[in-house]
């Protein structure tokens, strides 16, 4: 059976790894920049695509620039609400029924907003989009599954005083502590805010994550934060194995108890192991892969994004996704950054299907993992019902 892009667009899908800032609509970025007096290198979509949001990036600095401009317009409540709302709508328009949007709240707090207000502002946008979508006749009648979402709050592996007003205040208050200690304190504080938002305000913050510079900034600094989340039944995902070797994935699992791994691109790469105390590298990888497979630790695979940030991957065919599938790992296809990588969930799944020649059965498994391994914010019973509705609908679309 030939699986077309059009068919994939019709299918119910999820995105479990997508950054709010990296997925901002360019029209919105321009609009908000003009309103708030933020300087951009261009004020047209085409101009921004030529100067910032390019097809490919020559360096990491080039790539990271894409996050600076959205960050500058995300310092106000109404802006965050709008960006979150539009992210949900863009997803709904291409058949995404379950979304886990992630962002680093501390990058937007300290100025106009407190940490809880940042979470609330984003939630307001997502919640509005959900309500508007779910009153549609096809949803109310039960013909199609409804839209739902969770929020993932990212702590930063690295930041400086200049990263945000909030980070400036943390750095100043702990001027005599080591950098590593301050990173850990900041993520611990974030974990506390997540727990409060979930428990007291009912905001569906479903998980903690760590993002940012991977090499040289190990997960161990964030252990207390992850344990606080764990003790409060908040789920755990970790950006790992994107810019550092398999040890990073190992640490995410053994030190932070990760339920899911963001990227995991270096998982099979024996050459990128740098710890000299590991004598048998192949054995180390084999054990790690077995553990991940057996525990169903899910890998959030972001194909286009990985091609932009991993210079060693010259062709998509070289992406370890094939090996992940061959080893029967639990994988889900995600976008990472819709605008920065100029992509959609439909595009990413279509890429996976066409480049790795996936069967309809394999596609269904990938989509099913997205729903099943989500950090769905309601009861287990409700999750089971919801997943079943999504997969039944998947079957119906395929049959049509
Ligand atoms: Zn990411």
Cα(309) to ligand 1 centroid in Å equals: 11
Q: Is the pLDDT of residue 83 over 80?
A: yes
- CA nearest neighbour of 115 among 103, 126, 125, 100: 103
Per-position b or e across 297-331, b if 16+ CB within 10 A of its CB: bbbbbbbbbbbbbbeebeebeebbbbebbebebbb
Res 159 pLDDT > 80: yes
Query: Residue 58: how many CB atoms within 10 A of its CB?
Result: 9
The CA 310 to ligand 1 mean position distance, Å, reads 13
Between the CA of 290 and the centroid of ligand 1 the distance, in Å, is 24
- What separation in Å is there between the alpha carbon of 393 and the centre of ligand 1? 29
pLDDT digits (tens, 9 = 90+) for 136-146: 999 999 999 99
pLDDT of amino acid 26: 98
Q: Calculate how far, in angstroms, residue 151's C-alpha sits from the geometric centre of ligand 1.
A: 14
User: How far away, in angstroms, is 160 Cα from ligand 1 center?
Assistant: 20
Q: Distance, CA 135 to ligand 1 centroid (Å)?
A: 31
State the Cα–Cα distance between residues 395 and 400, nearest whole angstrom.
9
Q: How far is the CA of 298 from the centre of ligand 1 (A)?
A: 14
pLDDT at 69 over 90: yes
Looking at residue 80, what is its pLDDT?
98
pLDDT tens track for 364-378:
999 999 999 999 999
For the cut 80, the answer to whether the pLDDT of residue 311 exceeds it is no
Q: 238 CA to middle of ligand 1, Å?
A: 9
Q: Ligand 1: distance of its center to the CA of 202 in Å?
A: 25
β-strand partners of 207: 152, 235
341 band by pLDDT with thresholds 50, 70 and 90: very high
Q: Across all residues in the chain, what is the average pLDDT? A: 95
Question: How many angstroms does the Cα of residue 258 sit away from the middle of ligand 1?
Answer: 15
As a whole number, mean pLDDT of residues 37-61 equals 91
Does residue 60 have a pLDDT over 80?
no
> Which pLDDT score, from 0 to 100, does residue 310 have?
79
Q: Please say if the pLDDT value at position 270 is more than 80.
A: yes
Ligand 1 centroid – CA 159 distance (Å): 16
The alpha carbon of 102 and the centre of ligand 1 are apart by a number of angstroms equal to: 8
Distance 293 CA to ligand 1 centre (A): 21
**What token pair was written down for 92?**
């709904």
Find residue 336's DSSP bridge partners.
Answer: 18
Q: How far is it, in rounded angstroms, from Cα 381 to Cα 213?
A: 38
User: Can you tell me the distance from the alpha carbon of 181 to that of 145, in angstroms, rounded to the nearest whole number?
Assistant: 45
Distance separating the N- and C-terminal Cα atoms of the chain = 13
The reported pLDDT for the residue numbered 237 is: 98
Q: Average pLDDT for residues 264-275, to the nearest whole number?
A: 91
CA-nearest of 248, 187, 180 to 214 is 248
From ligand 1's centre to the CA of 307, what distance in Å?
13
Torsion sign across C-alpha atoms 77, 83, 89, 95: negative
Rounded to the nearest angstrom, the distance between the alpha carbon of 301 and the centre of ligand 1 is: 10
CA of 308 to the centre of ligand 1 (A): 12
Q: How far is the CA of 154 from the centre of ligand 1 (A)?
A: 9
Q: Is the pLDDT of residue 2 over 90?
A: no
Say how many Å lie between the CA of residue 196 and the centre of ligand 1: 24
How many helical (H) and strand (E) elements, i.e. helices and strands, does the chain have? 17, 8
CA separation for the pair 39, 273 (Å, rounded):
42
Q: At 237, give phi and psi (nearest 5°).
A: -130, 155
pLDDT in tens, 187-228: 999 999 999 999 988 999 999 999 988 788 889 999 999 999
What does the pLDDT average to over 81-110?
98
- Residue 56's pLDDT is 83
* Gap from CA of 182 to ligand 1 centroid (Å): 22
* Cβ(20)–Cβ(73) below 8 Å: no
Which contacts of 306-309 are long-range, i.e. CB under 8 A and separated by 24 or more positions?
A: 306/242, 306/263, 306/265, 308/56, 308/57, 308/63, 308/340, 308/341, 309/57, 309/60, 309/63, 309/242, 309/243
Phi, then psi, of 155 in degrees rounded to 5? -85, 160
Query: What are the phi and psi torsion angles at 60 (to 5°)?
Result: -65, -35
Q: How far is the CA of 18 from the centre of ligand 1 (A)?
A: 7
Q: What is the largest CA-CA distance in the chain?
A: 65
- Structural domains of the chain in order of their starting residue, each with its CATH number: 5-24+73-399 (3.20.20.140)
pLDDT for res 183: 96
Give yes or no for residue 1 having a pLDDT over 80: no
Lowest mean pLDDT among 226-230, 312-316, 376-380: 312-316
Residue 241 has pLDDT above 90, yes or no: no
Query: What is the whole-number distance in angstroms between the Cα of residue 351 and the centre of ligand 1?
Result: 18
């Amino acid at each position: 059976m030939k699986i077309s892009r059009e068919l994939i667009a019709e299918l119910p899908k999820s995105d479990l790894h997508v950054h709010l800032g990296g997925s901002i609509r360019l029209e919105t970025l321009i609009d908000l920049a003009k309103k708030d007096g933020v300087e951009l290198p261009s004020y047209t979509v085409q101009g921004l695509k030529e100067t910032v949001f390019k097809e490919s990036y020559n360096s990491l600095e080039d790539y990271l620039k894409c996050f600076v401009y959205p960050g500058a317009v995300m310092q106000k409540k109404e802006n965050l609400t709008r960006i979150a709302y539009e992210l949900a709508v863009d997803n709904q328009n291409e058949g995404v029924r379950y979304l886990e949007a992630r962002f680093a709240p501390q990058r937007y707090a300290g100025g106009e907003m407190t940490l809880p207000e940042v979470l609330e502002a984003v939630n307001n946008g997502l919640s509005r989009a959900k309500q508007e979508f779910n009153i549609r006749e096809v949803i109310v009648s039960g013909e199609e599954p409804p839209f739902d979402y969770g929020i993932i709050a990212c702590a930063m592996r690295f930041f400086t005083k200049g990263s945000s007003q909030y980070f400036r205040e943390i750095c100043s208050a702990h001027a005599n502590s080591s950098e590593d200690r301050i990173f850990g304190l900041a993520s611990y504080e974030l974990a506390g805010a997540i727990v409060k938002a979930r428990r007291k305000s009912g905001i569906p913050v479903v998980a903690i994550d760590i993002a940012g510079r991977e090499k040289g900034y190990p997960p161990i600094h964030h252990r207390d934060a992850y344990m606080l989340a764990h003790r409060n039944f908040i789920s755990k995902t970790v950006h790992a194995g994107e810019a550092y070797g398999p040890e990073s994935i190992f640490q995410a699992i053994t030190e932070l108890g990760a339920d899911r791994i963001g990227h995991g691109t270096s998982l099979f790469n024996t050459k990128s192991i740098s710890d000299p105390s590991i004598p048998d590298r192949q054995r180390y990888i084999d054990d790690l892969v077995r553990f991940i497979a057996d525990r169903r630790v899910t890998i959030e695979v972001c194909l286009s994004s990985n091609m932009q940030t991993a210079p060693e991957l010259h062709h998509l065919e070289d992406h370890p996704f094939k090996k992940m599938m061959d080893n029967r790992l639990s994988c889900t296809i995600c976008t990472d950054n819709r605008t920065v990588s100029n992509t959609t969930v439909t595009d990413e799944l279509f890429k996976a299907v066409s480049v790795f020649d996936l069967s309809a059965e394999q596609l269904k498994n990938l989509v099913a993992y997205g729903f099943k391994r989500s950090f769905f914010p309601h009861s287990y019973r409700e999750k089971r019902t919801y997943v079943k509705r999504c997969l039944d609908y998947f079957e119906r679309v395929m049959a049509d």
